[in-house]
Every structure is written in C-alpha cells, then in structure tokens.
C-alpha cells in the first residue's frame, strides 16, 4: 500500500468528539476528574452508581472503577494515564475491565474496540469551563471500527448523561 493510500484511509477514520460548557472554574472541573472521592460522586451515565473508585494519578498509573447499573448489574472500567497536564489536559487509554482490573470486552457489545484513546481538554471560558472529550479506538479491527462509528448516537447519549451528573455534582461543591 502506498503512503498516499494509507494517509487517505487514516483521514477517513472518524473520532468521536463531545463538548459541554460547565458552570464551574477549570481547577474544580479538573479536580473532579483527578480525585477518586470526586469521581465516585458523579462518574458514569445517568442512573449508574460508582461502587469502587481507586486512582493512581500519574503517567502509567490507573483509575479502576466499578459501577452498578439501575438494574443492579455491575460494570467495571479502567483508565491507564498517558499524560496529565494540570489543569488543562488528560490523555488516557480507557478499557472495560473485571473487578480485579483485567482488561475485558464491552459487556453488551463484544465487537466494541478493546482500547480507546481518550483525551479530556479543560478550557476556561470566563467563570465556566469548556470540557471537550475526544475518543478514538486504538488499533481497531474493521469490525471494531464499524461498531465504534455506529455507536456515536449512543456515546452522545451516554456522555450527555455523564455531563448532567457532573453538573449536578458541581452545584453541590462550589
């Protein structure tokens, strides 16, 4: 395959991007992503409750969490941090996991990419913070790429609910 062909294929891959203006200062919003006590209070889609939250916040460190869904089932996830630039940026690899922290497939979508590159950007806008989240699969198969791109609507819904939970939590800690 020529370099030009590879470049064309790469440019056709889509990244999921979502952004929300949050009514809180950047340092507080950043702290809500970097303190496991904060994370336990708001992380996850609407209706989910964090039941475990341990964090080693450093490049190479992890955040391991468990969530209980409204139907009582549990889901686990893990972040492995690549970059932490306080208070403006966090880059990490996100995976589903088991309770012991081992990487697993998505419990409801087995063709979901095994690893996701996640970038969280925190930008001050007056007294508020623009939070932008970018997601892209790492080394996906064609099937995983297709599943990822087909899931943009569900990701928008899930992240919107997570933003709502974060906004509600921010109102209690300001």
Per the domain annotation, does 5 fall within a domain?
no
Per the domain annotation, does 79 fall within a domain?
yes
**97-121 per-position pLDDT tens digit:** 999 999 999 988 999 999 999 999 9
What is the reported pLDDT for 13? 74
**16-63 per-position pLDDT tens digit:** 999 999 999 999 999 999 999 999 999 988 888 999 999 999 999 999
Per the domain annotation, does 168 fall within a domain?
yes
Per the domain annotation, does 119 fall within a domain?
yes
Per the domain annotation, does 96 fall within a domain?
yes
Distance between CA 12 and CA 57 in Å, rounded?
A: 34
Distance between CA 27 and CA 17 in Å, rounded?
A: 22
Give the pLDDT band of residue 74 (cuts 50, 70, 90): very high
**138-170 per-position pLDDT tens digit:** 999 999 999 999 999 999 999 999 999 999 999
Residue 81, strand partner residues: 92
Per the domain annotation, does 153 fall within a domain?
yes
CATH number at residue 55: 3.30.530.20
Per the domain annotation, does 7 fall within a domain?
no
Per the domain annotation, does 6 fall within a domain?
no
**Structural domain of residue 36, as residue ranges?**
15-173
Per the structure, the count of domains in the chain is 1
Give 143's Cβ-side CA count (13 Å radius).
5
Is residue 174 predicted with pLDDT exceeding 80? no
């Amino acid at each position: 395959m020529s370099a030009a062909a590879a470049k064309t294929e790469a440019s056709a891959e889509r990244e999921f991007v979502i952004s929300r203006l949050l009514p809180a200062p950047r340092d507080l919003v950043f702290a809500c992503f970097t303190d496991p006590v904060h994370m336990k209070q708001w992380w996850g889609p609407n209706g989910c409750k964090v039941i475990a939250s341990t964090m080693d916040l450093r490049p190479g460190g992890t955040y391991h969490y468990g969530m209980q869904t409204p139907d009582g089932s549990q889901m686990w996830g893990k972040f492995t941090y690549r970059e932490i630039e306080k208070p403006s940026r966090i880059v990490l690899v996100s995976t589903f996991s088991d309770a012991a922290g081992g990487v697993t497939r998505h419990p409801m979508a087995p063709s979901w990419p095994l690893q996701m590159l996640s970038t969280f950007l925190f930008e001050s806008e007056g007294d508020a913070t623009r939070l932008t989240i970018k997601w892209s699969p790492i080394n996906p198969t064609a099937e995983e790429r297709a599943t990822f791109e087909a899931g943009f609507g569900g990701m928008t819904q899930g992240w919107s609910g997570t933003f709502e939970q974060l906004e509600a939590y921010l109102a209690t800690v300001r």
